[in-house]
Structure 1
Amino acid sequence: PGGIKDRTALHMVLAARRRGQLLPGARIIESTSGTLGLGLALAGAVHGHPVTVVTDPGMEPLMTGLLTAFGADIELVEAPHPVGGWQEARRRRV
C-alpha cells in the first residue's frame, strides 16, 4: 500500500520462503500495530499466505480497517501482561 515497511515485509516473506521456514499457503502471524502489518498483509495476499496480526486495543480503527481490507485477520489481546504490558501480552500470544 506504499507504506515504509512494505519492502521489509516482502523481504521477510521471501527470505522465509527461500529458507523453507514459510511453506506454501502457511499462515503468517505477527505482533504489530502499524505499517509492518500492512506490508505483511499485502505480501501474504500476493504470495498466498493468510496473515494474522496480533495487537492490543490501542490499535487505531483506521489501521484495523486497512488490515482487514488487505485480508488480514486481527486477534486482540484482552489484557496487558502484569510485568511486560501490552507488548509482552502480544508476544506471548504469537
Structure 2
Amino acid sequence: MPKPKDDFEELYPCDFYEPEELLDEELMYSVYEIARLLQGLDPDAELDVETEEILLDWAIPWVMRNSERLVVGEPPSDEEPGYYGLKE
C-alpha cells in the first residue's frame, strides 16, 4: 500500500554507484560480492540468507543497467556464480 511522503522522516536521492566507483579494475566480483559493495559492506561480509536475497534484488538490476561497462567471467564450477569486472 502506498504511503504519504510525510510518513518518512527523511527522503534521500536514489543514486547508485558508477561501476568505476565501486569495482577495482584488477578484480572480478560475484553478484553476491557486488550486492554487498552496493550497501557499503565488505565483499566477504557474512549475511543471513534473507538479507542476501534482498541485496541481490538491488545488485542484479545494477549489473544489467551497467552491462555495457562490465565484462563477465565464466564460473569456476557449475555450483558457483559467474564473475563481473570493469571493461578496460
Asked if these proteins are the same fold (TM beyond 0.5), I'd say: no
TM-score band w.r.t. shorter chain:
under 0.3
TM-score by length of 2: 0.28
**Higher RCO (CA-CA < 8 Å; seq separation 6+):** 2
Higher strand share: 1
TM-score by length of 1: 0.27
